[in-house]
Amino acid sequence: MENSIAFPNLGILLKSVGSHISIRGFEIAYYGILIGIGIFAGILIAVREAKRSGQDPEMIYDLAVYGVICSIVGARIYYVAFSWEDYKGDLLSILNIRQGGLAIYGGIIGAVLTIFVYSRIKKLSPFILLDLVAPGLAAGQMIGRWGNFFNREAFGEYTNNLFAMRLPLAAVRSGDVTEMMRRHLTEADGISFIQVHPTFFYESCWCLLLLLCLLWYSRKKRFDGEIFLFYLLGYGAGRVWIEGLRTDQLRWPGTDIAVSQVLAIILILLSAGWICSKRNRLTKGNKSATISKTVKDTGEEENK
């Protein structure tokens, strides 16, 4: 029971859920395995989108080599920057990512910077590349979030809803346990359990929905960069409410303000504003072109 994870309102009990596998004495964390699977899936989807849109799929493989490295570095830097108190006494621990500690927005920032540098070197449009990788980002997050399940982290406040998740108190970080969780502790076989929102599951489902929407709309986009902007808008919308449930939020130093919520809101506003502005310009341009064509056609008719 000490390694169990249960969803009592769904009647699901997993009696022993480990955090890693061992191969010849070498431990490989499920967290890392799932991130790897997510990256691989994201690359395959980006390659598929490149082929569908008539782009060279080889540039996706080329970009992935640099993008994956920079994304992981960016995700770690972002996390450590807002959790500095946990690392300043042991700087070498910054290099240990096997137990978690990667922030998705930091990974996105790293990926975007890589794309702009790569596109400048290769003389390509960064906005075309961003559109190609956007669905892959959603897919990677959808899969990678399940690493939090095995690490028993990134969960929310106490709940008794349909998807409530029950975890042994001793298996989670004490700093993630709130007073409300402690007030609702349950006991079984001498073991204390907390019951929480499985926010990793909520986000995984949200990313699946976002992935399907992006793949559908990619055939209807009106300008380069629009799919990526919709990704930022859609993911941000989900992150705002999901982040509000979590008890392990990264906060601005000295405040109770959740960093990811603020960044998500900013990206939602910027993306929505950019999409509306670009669409308005395109609409006005189309109207002007139509009027010009009508005037030209009328003139030709009069000359006849």
Please report which confidence band the pLDDT of residue 275 belongs to, taking 50, 70 and 90 as the band edges: very high
Per-residue DSSP letter, 251: B
What's the confidence (pLDDT) of residue 55? 92
Distance CA(118)–CA(148), nearest Å, equals: 31
What average pLDDT does the segment 108-135 reach?
Answer: 95
CA pseudo-torsion sign 29, 32, 36, 39 = positive
What average pLDDT does the segment 12-26 reach?
Answer: 89
Closest to 276 measured CA to CA, from 245, 231, 230, 212: 230
pLDDT digits (tens, 9 = 90+) for 147-169: 999 999 999 999 999 999 999 99
pLDDT digits (tens, 9 = 90+) for 63-82: 999 999 999 999 999 988 88
Q: How much of the chain, in percent, has pLDDT values that exceed 70?
A: 93
Residue 31 has pLDDT above 90, yes or no: no
pLDDT digits (tens, 9 = 90+) for 188-243: 888 999 999 999 999 999 999 999 999 999 999 999 999 999 999 999 999 999 99
Residue 38 has pLDDT above 80, yes or no: yes
Q: Is 166 helix (H, G, I), strand (E, B) or coil?
A: strand
Residue 286 has pLDDT above 90, yes or no: no
Chain CA centroid to CA 97, Å: 17
Residue 12 has pLDDT above 70, yes or no: yes
Mean pLDDT lowest among 44-58, 183-197, 272-286: 272-286
Distance CA(60)–CA(43), nearest Å, equals: 7
What's the confidence (pLDDT) of residue 111? 93
The residues, ordered by sequence, that sit 6+ positions from 109 with a Cβ below 8 Å of its Cβ are 74, 78
Terminal-to-terminal C-alpha distance of the chain: 90
What's the confidence (pLDDT) of residue 293? 57
> Max alpha carbon distance in the chain (Å)?
97
Residue 117 has pLDDT above 90, yes or no: yes
What's the confidence (pLDDT) of residue 227? 97
Higher pLDDT, 209 or 258: 209
Residue 24 has pLDDT above 70, yes or no: yes
**Residue 224 half-sphere exposure, CB side, CA atoms within 13 Å?**
9
Binding-site entries:
145
What residue spans define the domains of the chain?
5-297
What average pLDDT does the segment 245-260 reach?
Answer: 86
Q: Are 15 and 1 in contact (CB under 8 A)?
A: yes
What's the confidence (pLDDT) of residue 188? 87
Residue 304 has pLDDT above 60, yes or no: no
Please report which confidence band the pLDDT of residue 250 belongs to, taking 50, 70 and 90 as the band edges: confident
Distance CA(189)–CA(168), nearest Å, equals: 11
What's the confidence (pLDDT) of residue 129? 96
What value does the mean pLDDT of the chain take?
90
Please report which confidence band the pLDDT of residue 98 belongs to, taking 50, 70 and 90 as the band edges: low
Burial of 20 (0-12, 13-18, 19+ CB in 10 A): middle
Please report which confidence band the pLDDT of residue 289 belongs to, taking 50, 70 and 90 as the band edges: low
